[in-house]
Amino acid sequence: MGGGAGVFTYYLIRGMMGLADRNRDNMVNLLELNIYLNDNIPRETNFNQNPTVDGKQNTVIAYIDSMTLLSLQEQSQTESSQYLALTTKGFMEDMKAQLEPDVYELYQKFEESIEKDKLVNDEWDIDTLNAFYYYEKLMADRRAEKVHSKVRRTFLAALQNKTQIYLNNYVRGKDVTDSINLYQAYLEQEKAFEMVDSTFILYNNIKARYLFLKCIYTYDDMERLKLLEECLEAEPDAAYAYNEIGTIYQNLKQYDKAQTALEAAIDLAPNWSYPYNNIAIVYHEMDQYARAWIII
DSSP 21-35: -SS-SSEEEHHHHHH
SS3 category, 20 = coil
HSE (CB half, 13 Å, CA atoms) of 242?
Answer: 24
Q: What is the pLDDT of residue 224?
A: 97
Examine the fold and report which residue of 79, 110, 133 is the final residue of a domain before the chain moves on: 79
Contact 74, 97 (CB under 8 A): no
Q: What domain count does the chain have?
A: 2
Is the entire prediction scored with pTM above 0.85? no
Is residue 215 domain-resident?
A: yes
Contact 257, 263 (CB under 8 A): no
Is residue 120 domain-resident?
A: no
Is residue 37 domain-resident?
A: yes
pLDDT in tens, the chain (296 residues): 555 568 888 889 888 988 888 877 888 988 889 888 888 888 777 767 878 787 777 888 998 876 666 666 656 454 555 555 555 556 667 777 788 889 889 999 998 999 888 999 876 666 678 999 999 999 999 999 988 888 898 899 889 888 888 887 787 776 666 668 899 999 999 999 999 999 887 889 899 999 999 999 999 999 999 999 999 999 888 899 999 999 999 999 999 999 999 999 998 888 788 999 999 999 888 888 777 777 66
Is residue 126 domain-resident?
A: no
**Domain carrying residue 267:** 196-295
Examine the fold and report which residue of 79, 113, 132 is the final residue of a domain before the chain moves on: 79
Is residue 100 domain-resident?
A: no
Is residue 150 domain-resident?
A: no
Is residue 236 domain-resident?
A: yes
Contact 213, 227 (CB under 8 A): no
For residue 158, count other CB atoms closer than 10 A to its CB: 23
For residue 273, count other CB atoms closer than 10 A to its CB: 11
Is residue 249 domain-resident?
A: yes
- What does residue 102 show for φ and ψ, rounded to 5 degrees? -70, -30
DSSP 1-16: -TTT--HHHHHHHHII
Q: What is the CATH number of the domain that holds 272?
A: 1.25.40.10
DSSP 61: E
Examine the fold and report which residue of 35, 58, 79 is the final residue of a domain before the chain moves on: 79
